[in-house]
Each structure stands twice: as structure tokens, then as C-alpha cells.
Amino acid sequence: MTIAVAVPDLWSGRRVSYGRGAARQNQAAAKVSGTFWTANAKYHQRTAQGGHGFRPRGRSRMNPAFERYVGIDYSGAQTPTSSLKGVRVYAADCLTGPHEVKPPRSPRKHWTRRGVAEWLTERLSEGPRTLAGIDHGFSFPLRYFEQRELPLDWPSFLDDFQRHWPTDEDIYVDFVREGIAGNAAARSGNSRWRRVTEVRARKAKSVFHFDVQGSVAKSTHAGIPWLRYIRRKAKDRVHFWPFDGWNVPPDRSVVAEIYPALWIRTFPSLGRTPDQQAAYAAAEWLRRADCDGSLEKFLRPKLEPHERKAAEIEGWILGVL
């Protein structure tokens, strides 16, 4: 007979039960602890009883570079404090697959952009090495820097962008686009301008291509000021790849740009919404790539010298070779 056994949870510090009755015990524990890390108890139960689930084998299983993996599907809708069903967060560790992370209890049902930034900053600052992927552009094409005569420096870009597109304030992205707030006229681009990584990914759209299916323009313009927030708060605990270097120091967590469309069909959706599936697929791919030893080649894609130089300013999508 299988019984429920409680073990420490890597993310929240609370004890998570596995086996018969695990789901009920975990739900009760979550209510008592007040934690907003809600583990997918059914997944853990299946895995503990020998059910399906990725299990890295061999030497790579013993030596992953990271302990935790986060996939974030983003949205540029409404304001930074709006509850958005399009913002989803999934997390995993090397031995257990992704589970959805719910926001802290509040009148808001879904995550806000501010809430995600604050939560991620806490996770990156607290200790265990984390690999986090966020689904929006982290920078702009070189043409943007050249046209605006801006320094080829990503931290300076973050400051300059936030001054002109203050989308971390309680405003809509469209308020800036329409001239109601900020100064979009001084810091806009052309939808035909694409980064090297977008060209390499083929189907990825320009960060300036608004109002079309599959566009990341609005989420990019909404999200970049929050990258600045995370960088300023987490400080030297986090490595923004590849802007801080292609090689990741052994004591740093990593935040990287991702494109879930690369992997969304790789894993069965099992009833998840498209936004949930995007975040799930990102977390699962990050987990598998690290735990099977293939992550290193994606962190060091084969680029020509001029492409590598451009990518150090434009950024690169983790997973594109």
C-alpha cells in the first residue's frame, strides 16, 4: 500500500507530500502556510508511484548547472497592476516537472506584471540557482541604436527606454504609443527592423511589429522596464544572458529571453490553455536542456563574429542556434 510521504519543497520551504492522499495533504498545507507556491500534487504523485515524467540519466543528471527552472508567458495588456489571464508562470526542478505557480492571494485572480517582477526578484535573490525564461524581447535591433545615435550599451538602453516608455507606471502601453504619456516619438522603431536572433528563429516577429497575430511588440514594450527593475533589485545575484556575457558565473541565476513557440508542440497540452502551455513548455524545455547536458550549446550558439557582437546588444533567444 502506498502512503503519503512529506519531503521539503525546494521552492517554498514547505513540506510536500507524495503518494496516496498527497493532493489533499498538500492543499491543506498550502492553506495553513499561506505560501503562493502551489505544487502540482497530482504530477508529483504519479512520478512518485513510477508514472510518466522526464528522468535524466547518467552523469548529466548528477550535475545540472541550475536547481530551479521558471517559464513565464507574458502579456502587454492593460496596466502593470491589472490581473491578466495571459500572464502565466510555471516552475520545475531537475527531478520534477513544471507546475503552475499561482499569484499571492488577493482580490486579483491572475498575475500582474508588477507581481511577476517582484516575485521573480525574490526568487532570484534568495539563493538556489535559477534559470528563468521570459517570453518577450529584451532589447532592440542595432538599427534602432544607430538611428537614435544611442550608445551600444544594454544597461544604458534600459534606462533610456524607461524614460521614454515608462510602462512600469500605472499606464497602458497604448497611452505611450498615442502620445498621452512618455515620448514614443523619440524612441520608436520600424516593424521591418529585426534582430539577428529573430531572423535566425525565422517565425519570430520584430519587436516593433504591433497589432498582428503572434506579435511580441506590446509585451516587449511593457516588459523591458521590469527587466530594469529586476536588475536593479537583484543586483549581482542575477546574470542577464547574453548582455552580461555568454559565460555564466557559477554562483549566478540567469534570466533569458525565450520564444515558447519553439517548443509548445513538443509537449502534450493536457487541457492547459495556450498561455499555460507556453509557460509550461518553456519551463520543461529549460529543465530538460540543463538536466540532459544540452543547455551549454544553447548558451553558446555558433555565431559569426559580427553576429555575436550584434547579439551582445540586441540580445538572443535562448534555444535558437
Q: What is the pLDDT of residues 28-47, one digit of tens each?
A: 433 333 333 333 333 333 33
Cα-based angle 99, 260, 222 (whole degrees, multiple of 5): 95
What global pTM score does this model have?
A: 0.83
Q: What pLDDT, on a 0 to 100 scale, did the predictor assign at position 56?
A: 55
Q: CA torsion, points 245, 101, 214, 303, in degrees to nearest 10?
A: 20
CA nearest 198: which of 184, 210, 212, 216? 216
Partners of 55 in the beta sheet? none
Local confidence band at 127 (pLDDT 50, 70, 90 cut-offs): confident
- pLDDT for residue 62: 52
Distance between CA 272 and CA 96 in Å, rounded?
A: 18
What's the pLDDT at 219? 98
Confidence at residue 224, expressed as pLDDT on a 0 to 100 scale? 98
Residue 229 banded pLDDT, cuts 50, 70, 90: very high
Looking at residues 317-321, what average pLDDT do you find? 97
Average pLDDT of the residues in 180-202? 96
Query: How high is the mean pLDDT of the chain?
Result: 85
The pLDDT score that the predictor gives to residue 24 is 45
Least confident of 49-53, 81-85, 275-279: 49-53
pLDDT at residue 106 in the model: 81
Provide, rounded to the nearest whole percent, the portion of the chain with pLDDT above 70. Answer: 81
The stretch 290-311 carries a mean pLDDT of: 97
Q: What is the mean pLDDT of residues 310-315?
A: 98
